[in-house]
Amino acid sequence: MHRSVLQNKGYMKFSNSNVIEVISMEELERALQNNHWAIKTYDFKDPYGDVLKYLVEFPGVTLDDLDRLSNGKPIEYMEGGRIPYTAVVDPHTEKLMEGIKGERNGKQLIEAIKPHLQTLRTKHGPGVSRKLWNQVRAAEPKCDVLLAQGELNKAVKLYTGLRAQATEEPEAIRPRLAALKSAIATELTARLDKAGKTKKDAAKKREVKRLAGLARRLGDKEVEKRAAALLTDSNK
């Protein structure tokens, strides 16, 4: 079923916009003991520079990920102990919508999912586009790296670009965008505090003005007020 579904081009295209797969496997410990070909890994360097070992059969998934999934929540949806088993789950409530026993090909699984997809859209709306979701997820470590490198301007540009795309700010996106904004605001505040201790008034004023501009672009009123207060102080 792995090859007939997860490696099926038609299903992959459908899944990319409509489905999030959560995989659970049997006999993982046995596979590890026997050094089974299915647990072969490859090295991948993440945005922080750390090397992760992803499974060749399931790119983006580590052995630890698979172990947690195979001994966690997904098991609760199993019925009858028959493998393969596919559970269609409401992501909002985590309640089972349909259980499918036995193998299905990509086309069959798409047809089984479509009615549930329509039910969820009717009840909860269209949801977040996968493209935007992936962009926000990729932006989180990138923002951390930019801030660590002192690239405040680029970090603010990254955030404002995402904010412009999420004009209606779907509920699932809001906390992630808020976290990005908060991280940048914290660094801006630290920079303002540092600038406030600068003895050379001309240099202090230039830096505070620069940071104030970034705060306006970020849309953080508290940081803007902090910058305005420092500018007033430097003009005395």
CA separation, residue 65 to residues 28, 52, 75, 108, 121 (Å): 12, 11, 14, 28, 29
Place of tokens 């579904």: 5
Q: Quick check: 119 pLDDT over 70?
A: yes
Residues in CB range of 56: below 8 A, 6 or more apart: 40, 41, 42
* Residue appearing with tokens 């965008």: 177
CA separation for the pair 190, 144 (Å, rounded): 15
Model confidence band, residue 115 (pLDDT cutoffs 50, 70, 90)? very high
Taking a C-beta distance cutoff of 8 angstroms, is the pair 84, 54 a contact?
no
Average pLDDT of 197-221?
A: 85
Q: What does the pLDDT look like over 35-70, one tens digit per residue?
A: 888 889 999 998 888 999 999 988 889 999 999 888
Domain chopping of the chain, boundaries: 2-124, 130-234
For residues 94, 96, 99, 114, the Cα torsion angle rounded to the nearest 10 degrees is -80
Whole-Å CA distances, 61 to 67, 139, 221:
10, 20, 40
Which pLDDT tens digit goes with each residue over 163-192? 988 877 677 888 999 999 999 999 999 999
pLDDT digit string (tens) for 87-103? 999 998 999 999 998 88
pLDDT tens readout for residues 61-78: 999 999 988 888 888 888
CB 161 within 8 A of CB 172: no
Confidence of residue 235 (pLDDT cuts 50, 70, 90): low
pTM for the structure as a whole: 0.78
User: Bridge partners of 99?
Assistant: 87
SS3 label, residue 41? strand
**Alpha carbon 90 to chain centroid, angstroms:** 19
Assigned fold of 130-234: Methane Monooxygenase Hydroxylase; Chain G, domain 1 (1.20.58)
